Structure formats: C-alpha cells, structure tokens
Amino acid sequence: MKDILGKQIKKDFPIFKNNPDLIFLDSAASTQKPQVVIDAIKDCYEKYYANVHRGLYQLSAKSSEAYEGVRDKVVKFINASSISEIIFTKNTTESINLVAYAWGRQNIDKGDEIILTAMEHHANIVPWQQLAKEKSAVLKFIPVDKDYRLGISELSKLLTKKTKLVAVTHMSNVLGTINPVKDIINKAKSFNKDIKVIVDGAQSVPHFAVDVQDLNADFFAFSSHKMAGPGGVGVLYAKQELLEKMPPFLTGGDMITEVTLKQATWNELPYKFEAGTPAIAEVIGLGAAIDYLYKVGLDKVFQHEEELTKIALKKVSAIPGVEIFGPKQVKDRGGAVAFTVKDVHPHDVASILDNQGVAVRAGNHCTQPLHDKFGIQSTVRASFYLYNQPEDIDALVKGINKVKEVFK
C-alpha cells in the first residue's frame, strides 16, 4: 500500500497507547479522538469555561470567543457563505429533525412528495415518515441498483410537480457508496428550482472535502463525533434565505430578542436555532478536530482510506463464503465494508472477531429498509479512518478465517 499518512499517525490517538492490541474498525459509528481534541476540551474546562453569550465578565467573553471561533472554522471547512448559515445541534439526527420540524411543518402539505433513497440511515428516514404521516404527504424512494449505487436515472421518473424535497445521504454508512449529490441536486433543481435538497453528510465530511456552495445543497447535516471530534455536537448548514423564513425548532433562552408574558421575538441567525446552553467545550473540541484534519490534510485522509478499502475489498472478498454488500471498486466509494459470512450469524462473527481484539459492528447499522431489500437482517461492517493501517485488515482477514474454523 502507498504509505500516505504513515504509521506515526496512530500516536496522535491515546486510545491506541492505552489499548495496544486494539484493532478498531468501527469508525463509521464513531471515531477515536486525537490528543489535541482531548486537550482542547480539558483546556476549556481548566482555564476559561463559562456560559457563552450571556456573561459580561472576561471568562464568559473568552469562552464565547472560542465557541464562536469554531463557527468561523466550520464556515471555512464546508465553504458556507456566512456564520448565519451554521447552526450547532446535538448531532446529524437533530440537524435533520430541525429541518423536518421547522422547514417541513411550514412547507409540506397534503399530497406533497418527498424523495428519499433506499440507502438512507434511519436518521434520514424516520423524521420524514413522521412529517409525511402528519401532513398526509407521500414518500418515494430512489432504488439501489445491483452494483449498490443509486439508480439516478430513476430520479427523473420520481420527480413530479408535487415534489418538494429530496433527502439523500452523501455516503452510505453500510455500502460505502458515495452518491453523486451534486448531480442529484442539479437534476432536482433543473426540474423545478423550488425543490429543496437536504444532504446527510454524516459519512462524508469526516473523510473528504465538502463544499456546500459548490453542491448547491439547501441543507447539509453532520456530526462532530464521526470526524475525530467529541460527541454531543452536530452541525446543520442551511441557506440563509431558508433559515430566515423558518420558525424556530426549540424555544427558550438565548434564541430570543424580547420576551413578554404573552409572546417573544426571535434572535438573529444563527442563534434563533440554538436554544439553551450549548455543548460549549465540545464545540471547542470540534474546532480542534477541524484544525487537526486540516493539518493532516483531508485529501490525504481520503487517499489513505481509499488504499485501505482497496486492500479490504480484495482480501475480504477472496475469502470463500464471504459476501460484500457494496461496490467492488473503490471509485466513488468510501471506507465502510459490510459483509456476511455464509451460515454464520453476523453477531457471532463480530463476537469471535472481538475475542481477537478486532472491533467491528454487526447489525442493521440503522438501515433496516436497506437490509430488508437484501433479504437479510444484519451484516458485519468494518469501517476505516485515518489511524487504520493495512495490518488491521490482515487482522480482520485472520479473524474471519478463525470464524470459519469455529463454525466448520
């Protein structure tokens, strides 16, 4: 394998020092954290923690400055046009729910159509199901073809004058498929410029550079914990003109300008959508994660993972009885490799791998409809991030062979 990042990178992550035998292959669920992120959070609590936006004292000014500084970093990281378009949430799930509640309840009516895809995470299905039920709207799905890619030509058949929204994942957390979201957005908007598109970027932003303006996405959601940052923080990007028209999602402190006993007026963007005390130290940790990814270079992260995926596809698929669910080539594909081992339950595979120090995920990975389509309940998933090395894949292969031996 081309040595793009080098083995030294693992030293940035204390979890590997504290668990020297750990082979961690579950980064699609949540990634490990580099020391710089841990230090940034510790630093905040030890040196300048106070609530943001409220205090008139120096400590609060300092924490507010650090917190808002991260918003600037996010603007640059995904190329938004201003801080008004960046809302800190809890995670991708909350970001999507925010859109479903605030934009959806205002813009979706009886008979309107929402186009999703058959490979969405539950986080990008259930909020739309709830909205559709409430509003008597209709959900339609772009199918997944035999090569585990979206049948994009089907999109033209699904678009009608009732289509209001397209919701699509940038990269499947199971198949690894990277979807051509720019083309999808283009196609939807050429059909009708008023159609809005929300992109679930939970599995893209951590792994390759994203430019929301170039994509022309209306809404874009992602989570800090999947990109070397802490848990409890997510981001919703949305075009300012949409946020201005949307009512608030959660209400209470910080998101208001004036409150009387009878009514309230809303704060300016983006604060209108950030009710209550946010996850201050965690947002600051996200800022450190962004700095870290810049330092390593997202291009290198992607190339490194591409090399690992190439090896995994070759070595894992060569094991008799193993079936991979996802594109067999690395082109337009990320580092999530889902598979089954013939006649062995995925949970047993994961458990035997765990006995050998290999951490993988088994289950439906919050994509039950996708698994239903394959006629199976679950798969095993190995997923990679910048700290993984080719030896980790060798350990995975060795582990799968052990599984086969046990179940012979």
- The binding site for ligand PLP (CB under 6 A) comprises 28-29, 91-93, 121, 123-124, 169, 173, 200, 202-203, 223, 366
Q: Which is nearer to ligand PLP, 78 or 395 (CB)?
A: 78
Q: 387 near 6, Cβ under 8 Å? A: no
Which run of H or E residues covers position 359?
Answer: strand 358-359
CB of 323 vs ligand PLP, minimal distance in Å: 21
- Pairing of β 219-223 and β 196-200: parallel
Q: Which is nearer to ligand PLP, 28 or 344 (CB)?
A: 28
CB of 91 vs ligand PLP, minimal distance in Å: 3
Q: What is the dihedral of CA 289, 291, 293, 295, to 10 degrees?
A: -150
- Which residues on adjacent β-strands are paired with residue 332? none
CB of 128 vs ligand PLP, minimal distance in Å: 13
In whole angstroms, what is the distance from residue 24 CA to residue 168 CA?
Answer: 28
What tokens appear for 302 in the block?
A: 């992607």
Q: Which is nearer to ligand PLP, 15 or 126 (CB)?
A: 126
**Cis check: omega of the bond before 127, within 30 degrees of 0:** no
What tokens appear for 389 in the block?
A: 């090395």
Burial group, residue 56, by CB count within 10 angstroms (0-12, 13-18, 19+): exposed
In whole angstroms, what is the distance from residue 60 CA to residue 277 CA?
Answer: 13
- Pairing of β 379-383 and β 361-363: antiparallel
Q: Which is nearer to ligand PLP, 203 or 388 (CB)?
A: 203
In whole angstroms, what is the distance from residue 77 CA to residue 71 CA?
Answer: 10
What tokens appear for 384 in the block?
A: 């990679």
Active-site annotation holds for 44: no
- Catalytic residue (one of 366, 369, 373, 374): 366
In whole angstroms, what is the distance from residue 335 CA to residue 309 CA?
Answer: 5
Nearest CA among 79, 92, 14, 13 for reference residue 386: 13
CB of 125 vs ligand PLP, minimal distance in Å: 10
3-state DSSP call for residue 127? helix
CB of 123 vs ligand PLP, minimal distance in Å: 4
Q: 360 near 337, Cβ under 8 Å? A: no
The residues assigned a catalytic role are 366
